[in-house]
């Protein structure tokens, strides 16, 4: 039996991952850890919710004791855009929060810790196309710096203490349940909301910006498949590249126009352009495919159809 705590449960990925894990392991066995944001009815109605601040180790410990937690998933992070506005906050949350979780997992001899990483570990000197698993990691954002350090720290706990720590480098994640906040890839979500609401969107990166992306159902599958993989099959631990699709903003706009022909896009690049330009166009995820059978389902057009349908329904109901 597993008792799982998801730290950062109210966030874009955490909110959906918590529900997916509750479907598998039972509502009572998956605790939603939220910091400030009030949990949605879906979260609070399907299992326990607790206020969890990864920076407060005593608070974490109380929740771990109360629910006999033996698996922690750390979804709490300050992303690339917000990180550049407040680098020390990003360092504090992303590093000290992680250290608290790893230390607690070590002290309690937990079964597993999952710590996601990101394409933000790469930088301007990394090969941009089909970026290999093993390559140059010299990011130029504080978010990327904390993600590289997090990968290394997780690997260190595997080697030094025999703790089962796992992680994957998420590309930009696109979803319609909970909106992302503070990331560079947020435009790839906002474009769909604006297409439904206003039939136009002004993008903060230029039309030729190409980044690796993934639709939420694939993100959930990748995360859960990695969690469930046999430890002995993992040649890497905290840094698996996972890819699904890559496209430019102009290509996204074309995909949307197949459903909303009058959709218009314009471009006003801001400081996030430089961040996007420092990340790869696409990643080579063959080690993930080989070691734990990673496979994606969604391409751009399939995702666009699904996103527009779901956001369209929210709009009709007056929810957005």
Please answer whether residues 74 and 6 qualify as being in contact, where contact means their C-beta atoms are separated by less than 8 angstroms: no
Print the binding letters for residues 27-66 with ligand SER: x by CB under 6 A, - otherwise: ----------------------------------------
Residue nearest to ligand SER (CB): 183
71 binds ligand SER (CB under 6 A): no
Distance CA(218)–CA(4), nearest Å, equals 21
Residues 154, 102: contact at Cβ < 8 Å? yes
- Of 170 and 192, which has the nearer Cβ to ligand SER? 170
Question: How many residues of this chain bind ligand SER (CB under 6 A)?
Answer: 11
Q: Which of 3, 74, 80, 223 binds ligand SER (CB under 6 A)?
A: 80
Query: What backbone phi and psi angles, to 5 degrees, belong to 194?
Result: -70, -35
Instruction: Report in angstroms how near the CB of residue 114 gets to ligand SER at its nearest.
Output: 15
Phi and psi torsions of 296, nearest 5°: -100, 160
Q: Is residue 21 within 8 Å of 4, Cβ to Cβ?
A: yes
Among residues 108, 143, 215, 240, which one is catalytic?
143
Residue ranges of alpha helices (H) inside 162-260 are 187-197, 216-228, 249-257
Active site residue 143: yes
> Least separation, in Å, of the C-beta of 217 and ligand SER?
17
- The distance of Cα 303 from the centroid of its chain, to the nearest Å, equals 17
Contacts to ligand SER from residues 261-320, by CB under 6 A: none
Stretch that binds ligand SER, among 46-54, 95-103, 118-126, 215-223 (CB under 6 A): 118-126
| Strand runs labelled E in 44-92 | 49-51, 71-74
Nearest to 52 by CA among 2, 65, 168, 157: 65
Residue 18 or 117 with smaller CB distance to ligand SER: 117
Class of residue 52 by CB neighbours under 10 A (exposed 0-12, middle 13-18, buried 19+):
buried
Q: Does 118 bind ligand SER (CB under 6 A)?
A: yes
Contacts of ligand SER in 119-138 (CB under 6 A): 119-120
Per-residue mark of binding to ligand SER, 167-196 (x: CB under 6 A): ---x-x----------xxx-----------
Determine which residue in the list 13, 17, 49, 79 makes contact with ligand SER, applying CB under 6 A. Answer: 79
Q: Is 210 left (phi over 0), alpha (psi -120 to 50) or beta?
A: beta
Per DSSP, 27 falls in state G
Output the smallest distance, CB 272 to ligand SER, in A. Answer: 8
Counting every residue, how long is the chain? 320
List, by residue number, the catalytic residues: 143
Q: Which residues sit at the interface with ligand SER, rule CB under 6 A?
A: 79-80, 118-120, 143, 170, 172, 183-185
């Amino acid at each position: 039996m597993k008792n799982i705590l998801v730290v950062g449960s109210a966030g874009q990925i955490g909110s959906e991952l918590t529900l997916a894990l509750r479907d598998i392991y039972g509502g009572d066995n998956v605790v939603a850890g939220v910091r400030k944001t009030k949990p949605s009815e879906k979260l609070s109605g399907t299992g326990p919710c607790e206020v969890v601040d990864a920076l407060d180790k005593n608070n974490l410990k109380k929740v771990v004791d109360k629910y006999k937690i033996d698996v922690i998933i750390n979804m709490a992070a300050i992303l690339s855009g917000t990180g550049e506005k407040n680098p020390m906050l990003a360092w504090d949350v992303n590093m000290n929060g992680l250290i608290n979780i790893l230390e607690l997992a070590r002290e309690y001899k937990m079964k597993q810790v999952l710590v996601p990483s990101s394409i933000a570990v790469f930088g301007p000197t990394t090969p941009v196309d089909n970026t290999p698993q093993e390559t140059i990691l010299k990011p130029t954002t504080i978010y990327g710096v904390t993600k590289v350090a997090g990968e290394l720290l997780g690997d260190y706990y595997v080697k030094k203490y025999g703790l089962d720590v796992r992680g994957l480098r998420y590309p930009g994640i696109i979803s319609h349940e909970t909106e992302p906040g503070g990331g560079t890839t947020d435009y790839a979500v906002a474009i769909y909301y604006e297409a439904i609401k206003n039939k136009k969107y002004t993008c903060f990166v230029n039309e030729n910006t190409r980044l690796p992306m993934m639709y939420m159902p694939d993100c959930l599958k990748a995360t859960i498949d990695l969690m469930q993989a046999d430890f002995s099959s993992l040649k890497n631990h905290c840094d698996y590249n996972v890819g699904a699709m890559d496209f430019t903003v102009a290509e996204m706009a074309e995909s949307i126009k197949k459903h909303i022909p009058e959709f218009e896009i314009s471009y006003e690049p801001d400081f996030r352009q430089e961040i996007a330009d420092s990340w790869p166009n696409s990643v080579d995820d063959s080690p993930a495919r080989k070691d734990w059978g990673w496979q994606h389902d969604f391409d751009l057009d399939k995702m666009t159809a699904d996103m527009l349908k779901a956001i369209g329904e929210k709009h009709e109901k007056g929810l957005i």
